[in-house]
A and B are shown apart, each in its own frame.
Chain A
């Protein structure tokens, strides 16, 4: 079983991102589960959401304390105890940021880190800073367990056609940035992310 914990801020679609990951896994023929950290909703406040993926039915209904994947939607949350709790050397960390993975090595010394400029991708493709489908793509890209077609059907099941199309493009962009699945990425409709000289990313469509 793979356990995923997401941290974001109220209004960022943290819960939606968890649901999309689990939905994509379900579309992929796996067992999955997603749930929010049941708080009192406030825009901007730190929020958590959880997802599990397994080959067997999932009976467990507790929160996730030692995640296999930690997804951080807002890098200003990194110093919270809540975010760092239970992060072991094997936890794979995905961070929405323009910075590079090396910039976070001091904080997460032993971990594999994947950074993704999700907000920039969202602004370039969706015109709004809504990043949940982009994080879905990034997660699927690094974990390599889910077929991109399942991600596409999860997005199509959730959004209306026009919005779904843009989100699939955004998801593909993130997926192909993080994945080595060159066969899919050769034909997938996507934008490209370039690092311009220093540390800054730019997204071109």
Chain B
């Protein structure tokens, strides 16, 4: 049933549907409402997970690492400085091949201190070995959690679901909270394989020291498995679509909206996409501009993006980034430039630290891009 609720509430309700065994987290704006709701479910007896109040984000990440290593289905959430404090543990979770699922309520990173939204926190962790999905709206954010558990447990890889802080977490919109029976059907209990989890009856070591001859193959395997996980992502998105969404061309990687042969393709992730798509209804722009949404940032859908660029052949591309690799440029733009000829990609860094992005900004970005032969990277907010 479609319900009107806050984004954070929708995430908490959906996490409850996934029946985690252990939830451990430390509050930080704008992720806090998710935890408060989960704590409420626990206190009211609506859910029976272990709820661990930890002393820091690093402890929270460590607690879910341990619980996941012991075979539990686990959940945590963080943002900004909290996510950065988890960094060391997050690399370990991926290296130890633990199917942890977490939410990042995307927020800017200090200094200066800023509690508002951009995507610098998650993008800074892009090399940690986690799968990363970005949600456009609260429905997608909620659904991605169910999918993430399924994919994580099938691949033994952790998944981070990224949703823009405030502009999604604190926004009330209609969300369909999925049916518990269907979720149980799609996502049964985590299957444990003997010798692959911590068990006193069958002791093993996870994450021990690794010599030069073993370390590199382990990292290569992690890299390859992340790339190979695309098959599982597609498989489970298709299954999920059949059960819950029933939409044409639903996939786990990219979505293109717009004309068949646009002059300009805007590429973006997260909640800015909804605002960018308003351009598709503008009279003079609707036949010139298309919008490509990147849903999955790790593993990076390079083949899927190349295919769509080659099939609709935009003359120019504008990548809208909400995170910067300082000293280089927009992080998503860097990835797209890898796939395109020189002289094709302009980069707009927008919305840092909660700076609002309006349809008018997107229109100006279109105008600037159509004449941008120099392919500049610019911090754009006017």
Contacts and interface: CB of A to CB of B under 8 A. Distances in A.
Interface of A: 19, 22-23, 26-27, 31-36, 38, 40, 58-63, 65
Contact of A33 (B166, B172, B278, B356): B172
B359 A34 contact: no
Contacts of A59: 136-137, 273-275, 277-278
A205 B271 CA distance: 47
A34 B172 contact: yes
Given A26-B4, A59-B275, A61-B272, A34 B358 contact: no
Contacts of A36: 166, 170
Nearest to A57: B174
Contacts of A26: 4, 174
Q: State which size class the interface on B falls in.
A: 20 to 34
Contact of A61 (B30, B115, B172, B275): B275
Nearest to B164: A61
B215 to A, nearest CB: 43
Nearest to A154: B4
A19 B172 contact: yes
A111 B115 CA distance: 36
A62 B354 CA distance: 11
Nearest to A38: B166
Nearest to A19: B172
A29 to B, nearest CB: 10
Contacts of A61: 137, 164, 167-168, 171, 271-272, 274-275
B370 interface: no
B363 interface: no
B173 interface: yes
Given A19-B172, A33-B173, A59-B278, A38 B354 contact: yes
B172 A60 contact: no
A34 B275 contact: no
B359 A22 contact: no
A36 B6 CA distance: 11
Nearest to A51: B172
Interface string B352-374: 00101111000000000000000
Contact of B174 (A19, A31, A35, A40): A31
Contacts of A60: 274-275, 278, 359
B273 to A, nearest CB: 8
A62 B360 CA distance: 10
A23 B115 contact: no
Given A32-B4, A32-B172, 5 more contacts: A23-B172, A26-B4, A35-B166, A60-B274, A61-B164
B172 A62 contact: no
Contacts of B133: none
Contacts of B197: none
Interface in B142-180: 164, 166-168, 170-174
A62 B136 CA distance: 13
A64 B172 CA distance: 15
Contact of B116 (A32, A34, A38, A58): A38
A27 B172 CA distance: 13
